[in-house]
């Protein structure tokens, strides 16, 4: 029997419109999409773990989409850090931390990152969906948020990148942001071997 598998590097994708995500429960993303990802990897024989899920905005542009559920043990340092970052004392039973990442269609540029707390059966909060849509529309119009300070800037004015993160001039050289007075993201990127 002749092998009819797709050529190496072929990927299949699930594409959703951002506006259609308003009523989909979070568990669908973390369970159903994961099952689809595994099936698509088998079908296409694509060995890497790049996203197979994309969302599209009103401009018709596609963005790679990831949603992860974090369920760390209550006594773990990770749990305590997440609660600190999200201004909550604890996570009750049935409520989880979620993180969402959106990248451009190639996965090379981070477009939007956020975290939220919610029940697994609830949809992504509408406020977050609105923020996702705004970030995607800005990107389509030549703007992007700095991955550190969150400042809106023209893509052409970005000073540098570290992996998928994109940085404004001030954060890149360490005038502002998490690397303030430490040489900025530029200093970190200069040490990176990318191996």
pLDDT tens for 123-167 read 889 999 999 999 999 999 999 999 999 999 998 999 999 988 999
* E strand residue ranges, the chain: 14-17, 53-56, 62-70, 95-104, 110-119, 143-145, 152-154, 160-162, 165-167
Q: How far is CA 6 from the centre of its chain?
A: 28
Identify the CA nearest to 102 among candidates 136, 148, 149: 136
Question: What residue ranges do the domains of the chain occupy?
Answer: 1-141, 143-195
The mean pLDDT value of the chain amounts to 80
- The reported pLDDT for the residue numbered 92 is 57
pTM comes to: 0.74
Other Cβ atoms closer than 10 A to 68 = 15
**Alpha carbon distance 195, 175 (integer Å):** 28
- Does residue 48 have a pLDDT over 70? no
């Amino acid at each position: 029997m002749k092998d009819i598998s797709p050529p190496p590097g072929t990927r299949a994708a699930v594409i959703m419109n951002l506006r259609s995500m308003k009523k989909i429960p979070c568990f669908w993303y973390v369970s159903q999409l994961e099952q689809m990802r595994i099936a698509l990897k088998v079908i296409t024989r694509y060995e890497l773990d790049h996203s197979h899920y994309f969302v599209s905005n009103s401009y018709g542009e596609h963005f790679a989409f990831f949603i992860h559920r974090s369920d760390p043990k209550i006594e773990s340092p990770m749990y305590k850090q997440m609660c600190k970052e999200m201004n909550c004392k604890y996570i009750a039973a049935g409520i989880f931390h979620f993180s969402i990442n959106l990248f451009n269609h190639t996965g090379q540029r981070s477009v939007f990152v956020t975290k939220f707390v919610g029940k697994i059966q609830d949809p992504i909060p509408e406020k977050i969906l609105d923020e996702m849509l705004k970030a995607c529309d800005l990107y389509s119009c030549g703007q992007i948020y700095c991955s550190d300070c969150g400042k809106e800037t023209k893509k052409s004015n970005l000073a540098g990148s570290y992996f998928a993160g994109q940085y404004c001039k001030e954060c890149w050289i360490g005038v502002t942001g998490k690397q303030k007075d430490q040489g900025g993201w530029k200093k970190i990127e200069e040490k990176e071997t990318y191996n």
